[in-house]
Amino acid sequence: MEFRNLGRSGLKVSEIAYGNWLTHGSQVEEDAARACVRAALDEGITTFDTADVYAGTRAEAVLGRALKGQRREGLEICTKVYWPTGPGMNDRGLSRKHILESIHGSLRRLETDYVDLYQAHRFDYETPLEETLRAFDDLVRQGKVLYIGVSEWRAEEIERALKIADEMGLDRIVSSQPQYSMLWRVIEEEVVPLSEREGVGQIVWSPIGQGVLTGKYLPGRPLPEGSRATDDKGGADMIKRYLNDDVLTRVQRLRPIADELGLSMAQLAIAWTLQNPNVSAAIVGASRPEQVADNVKAAGVKLDEDVLKRIDDVLGPVVIRDPAKTGSPPRRP
């Protein structure tokens, strides 16, 4: 396993991080989830990403039990806050109340005294940013959170938060967690240049394009039984944007490139994201331990400029680049 600094901070994270968005607590039984976590640890992964909202808080609890007994100082545990975790009006967003109550719930479920990285899961237009940043800073000062990050924020939102933190003398954002893959490059035009200037690192999710970049979805063929595309409990809605013959045909044309490099299609896709120097880690998920073992082989892989150009030539017009498609909520007037 290779390691990188998280942005300009001193925190080192494993290039391949393990995430449990669509698996633990919902799609995968706990025994299988624990086997995947053990495989991740065996492969040298030290960075684990989750969120309070995943599987209605169950994902955090499963991860906490799976990591129990591990040396806490040897792990980087990351979680998030924003989405509803209860029925009340204050059980959501980035208010001081929700942030403070949510971190206590996350720490209890994760069975830890602190998290290494606490991330604002989306931007909150209903809460003053000063209130949100002060609440995060208080958690840092209390030792319950070591570093602060965001997920799916636009460049302008990150920039505003950094400016306010500097003016108020608060802890700065050190990371951004966006979707990023060969097919989905919406961060490249605005988020990445800002992040490079300001020392913010990317921990990217869905580096294999919801599974499409593994090559298992074939043009003109039925969807594989049991795949994410057939799972209406999570993931099917997101993957459908790629399930057209043009995208799937172009993805199959990546196979010879992967074969020449001695990589699986998934390894090529993950390694591609890690060629971006602003990317600190790529998050992978798994329903079986062997998937973890396959994915980690992308760590340390170097792709030369000719390979990167061939990938661009193959995917061409199906690549999504519009920064307006960042997953932040719609702007308020």
Residue 259 in tokens: 């074969």
SS (H, E, C) the chain: CCEEECCCCCCEEECEEEECCCCECCCECHHHHHHHHHHHHHCCCCEEECCCCHHHHHHHHHHHHHHCCCCHHHCEEEEEECCCCCCCCCCCCCCHHHHHHHHHHHHHHHCCCCEEEEEECCCCCCCCHHHHHHHHHHHHHCCCEEEEEEECCCHHHHHHHHHHHHHHCCCCEEEEECECCCCECCCCCCHHHHHHHHCCEEEEECCCHHHHHHCCCCCCCCCCCCCHHHCCCCCHHHHHHHCCHHHHHHHHCCHHHHHHHCCCHHHHHHHHHHCCCCEEEEEECCCCHHHHHHHHHHCCCCCCHHHHHHHHHHHHHHCECCHHHCCCCCCCC
Is residue 54 annotated as a catalytic residue, yes or no? yes
The residue from 54, 118, 217, 242 that is catalytic is 54
Catalytic residues: 54
